[in-house]
Structure 1
Amino acid sequence: MARKAAAEAITTEPRRSTRILSQPAPKAKRKADGEGGRAKKKTKKVAEDMEESAQEKAEQLQIGSSLAGLSITLPNQKGEDVEIGMIASERGVVLFLVPRADTPGCTQQACAYRDAYDKFTEAGYDVYCLSADEEGKQGKWKDKKTLPYDLLSDPKRVFISALGAGTTKTARSHFVFAKGGVMIDKRMPVKPAESFKLALDAIQKESEKGDGGTKEEKDDKKDEGDDEA
């Protein structure tokens, strides 16, 4: 009887190797950031703060700001370097910005400046189109639509951001700089068909100031003189 009990005890007791295999395997330690693990995603709050910070840095040039001394060089449609700080040193400048070259709205805006180009040059202003497109695409667009002015390429959005016209997408807009480089007008956003008209209006008002004031101001002075007489 004792031998039978001992034999039953031996057969019912699990082997050590079986007990070890039945235990759950220890969980693998998570890899530390930078050691093959996935980087933590930025929270929405952090992303918004970064965007706001970028916008604050972008909004540098305002009415009254000057291009003179601005150390930015961009290629035109031919790949030729254009020094932004010098473009208004001898003549006034109108810069109009388009979101994307050779698209309907942008073509409407560009062709409107083309058709009114002589009015700008006669007033002493050069015209430039600015976008984030590569110069090759701009060159094809210029030839296709016979655009008489240079198209500046800013794929890294250095100048576009400095104008406050967008860090990820270019806002349709225009900026007018008087001779010497001081900004006298800024329109953002602006409609494609109205951009050139508003730019010409700004140039006209600036010209009237140089002649002694706007028509309304001259009329007021005349009325004051008549009253004194």
Structure 2
Amino acid sequence: MAPRAKNPVETTEPTRRSTRISAQPKSELPAKEVKKAAPRTKKRTADDGDDESPAVKKSKAKEAAAEAPDTEESNEKAAELATIDIGDALPSLTLKNEKGEDVDVATLAAEQGVIFFLVPKADTPGCTNQACGFRDIYPDFTAHNFAVYCLSADSPSAQSKWQTKKELPYPLLSDPQRTLITALGAGEGGKTKRSHFIFEEGGKLVEKKIPVKPADSPKLALEYVKSVA
């Protein structure tokens, strides 16, 4: 008796089903959304050169604007003020002192010699070193009939606070537009060069040091005063 033939349906059906399954495309999972990290904010430090809050800056700007002279008038004075060099006389220019009083610089040397020492900014380390140097030997200048004045672009109120804090015995003159500072050759790019200028009695410029180191300025000024006494 011949062996029974296999049912073709039974042998082929599984194969077809397997082929259909393998041929079906694999479902793709949705890509995960990548969250971008928020940019890190740079922390402000004292090394950035500006550690004041916007509120403090705004307050200082208002104070300076209130105390500064009329811009048009200041620009006219600056244009009229010629460069002051050795042998030239003090010009007639009115500035405010630390008390907010008007001072005509041309009258300061009428009866004595005058020393103007210039600082970039009140109550900063280098400027305080220079200012305290003039403070400590101030009697030596007055003994030789020389008055001392600190000249800067700071407001009178800022100068007054500094004067009180460091017990500075001499007046401070405010030149916010750097009119006299520029005429002396110490104003450049909106900044003040550390320096000092000596005028003899009568108002003639006889000595200047620009630039000068904070600690050297008082010593060199006194040396010159003693040499002409």
Alignment of 1:106-125 (within 5 A): 106-125=127-146
**Structure 1 residue 184, shift from structure 2 partner:** 1.0
Counterparts of 2:226 and 2:137, CA distance in 1? 14
Please say if 1:171 is aligned against 2:193: yes
Q: Choose the corresponding residue for 1:61, options 75, 84, 92.
A: 84
What letter matches 2:226 in structure 1? Q
Q: Choose the corresponding residue for 1:127, options 120, 123, 148.
A: 148
Counterparts of 1:181 and 1:198, CA distance in 2? 20
Q: What SS does structure 2 have at the residue aligned with 1:101?
A: coil
Q: What SS does structure 1 have at the residue aligned with 2:191?
A: coil
**Structure 1 residue 201, shift from structure 2 partner:** 1.4
The TM-score, its normalising length taken from structure 1, stands at 0.63
Gaps of 5+ in 2: 1-78
Change (3 A) 1:206 1:101: same
Q: Choose the corresponding residue for 1:84, options 102, 105, 110.
A: 105
Fraction of identical pairs, as percent: 55
**Structure 1 residue 58, shift from structure 2 partner:** 7.6
Paired residues of 1:59 and 1:162 also in contact (CA < 8 A): yes
Please say if 1:194 is aligned against 2:205: no
What letter matches 1:169 in structure 2? K
1:118-171 Cα distance to aligned partner (Å, 9 max, x none): 000000000000000000000000000000000000001111111111141000
The TM-score, its normalising length taken from structure 2, stands at 0.63
Q: 2:172 aligns to what?
A: 151
What letter matches 1:64 in structure 2? G
What letter matches 2:85 in structure 1? Q
Q: What SS does structure 2 have at the residue aligned with 1:60?
A: coil
**Structure 1 residue 204, shift from structure 2 partner:** 1.7
Change (3 A) 1:132 1:202: same
Change (3 A) 1:58 1:192: farther
Q: Choose the corresponding residue for 2:207, options 172, 181, 185.
A: 185
Alignment of 1:20-35 (within 5 A): none
What letter matches 2:89 in structure 1? S
CA RMSD of aligned residues (A): 1.8
Counterparts of 1:164 and 1:75, CA distance in 2? 20
Gaps of 5+ in 1: 1-55, 208-229
Q: Which shows bigger deviation, 128-137 or 163-172?
A: 163-172
Paired residues of 1:172 and 1:191 also in contact (CA < 8 A): yes
Runs ≥4 residues deviating over 4 A = 56-59
Aligned residues: 151
Which structure is larger by alpha-carbon Rg, 1 or 2? 2
**Structure 1 residue 71, shift from structure 2 partner:** 2.1
Counterparts of 2:83 and 2:165, CA distance in 1? 34
